[in-house]
Amino acid sequence: MSGRVWVGTSNRGFAQQAQEELKRLLGPAVRFGWLAPGETFWFQSPLNREETIAAIQRQEPIFLRHLFPADAEKEWTGTSEEAIGAVCGLIEQERAALGLGSSIAVQIRKPEGESQLPAPSSLKAELDVLLEQEYGLRPVVRESDWILSVYMTRGRLYAGITRPEQNISDWSGGAVRFRKEEGQVSRAKFKLLEAELAFGLDFHSYRQALDIGAAPGGWTSLLLERGLAVTAVDPAKLDPSLLGHPRLTYLAKKADEVKFEPGKFDLLVCDMSWSHRQMAKLVLQLAEALQSGGTAIITVKLMHKKAFQSIREVEEDLSGAFTLQKAKQLFHNRDELTLFFLKS
């Protein structure tokens, strides 16, 4: 498979940062153009397909949420027949590599609000039937052998076939979706769920967690579900559904008013809407309470035009006590990103 034009996606408003990362990884000769301004773009890599994938996998970008190679790129008038024809041509070309009976996830997107193009859901349904009946492939939604990615604009259609790990995220466009549960405390829970996936963590493996700025308790609720004992610190009230939980200790105080015995916790989480440097100062004050090698998951609020500076400043502020493992702007982040540290 070959292709030097790619489709990249970031969180809305952070495409410029994603493009800057690609320049650093692939070289200044990389070229860009908009597909959905501020969020989705095409880029032309100066490297070949394998070299581009390798460069991005070596140092996963913080702000680039998803990408795929345009193995097929077609001018079109926007009909389903044209889209299916382009995809079939690509499948025929790669049929031997795909292998009979392999599972494939079809992921189709278009710019938000674009009503003159086929509905992705109906086009996906047609392609699923075709891939199974004509090519002997097995359409699935998750955990596939291959991903067929399609991005539609009014004048152009892009399609590519990849292994899931080559797209950064195996979710369509990197949009990680969780089902809202009855009685869910807050949507902030989705951020911690996504962080668990993005950082390769298993919260079941931890025992004692400290949640700074916990209210109303979205992150606390998830950690309790995972079986941890949680100490939640916040002067604001926790959701009533959490109060009285046998593994919850709730301290209605500010984070700078509490102190714990050294090494009491093996997990520290913090999702506060304070400035990034204030947040780092608070976390540093409580660092002694986290055991050596313990995990810290921290949300950092970003200054739009100084996003990389914000990351550097937090890393520097915490460098005496913590080592940064990974930084990622998750789908459920907005004007922020999430950092994964280990206690030094």
Assigned token pair, 8: 């990249």
Euclidean distance between CA atoms 8 and 319, whole angstroms: 32
Residue 69: which H helix or E strand, with range? strand 64-69
Residue with tokens 């949300």: 299
| Closest listed residue to residue 213, CA positions, set 337, 300, 339, 322 | 300
Pairing mode, strands 64-69 and 5-10: antiparallel
Residue 26 vs residues 59, 130, 170: alpha-carbon distances, Å: 11, 36, 22
Contact criterion met (CB below 8 Å) for 210 and 260: yes
Catalytic residue status for 306: no
Residue 159's SS3 state is: strand
Euclidean distance between CA atoms 322 and 296, whole angstroms: 8
The catalytic residue among 124, 189, 191, 301 is 301
Instruction: Report the greatest alpha carbon distance in the chain.
Output: 67
List CB contacts of 330: < 8 A, sequence separation 6 or more.
176, 191, 194, 195, 198, 337, 338
Active-site residues: which are they? Answer: 301
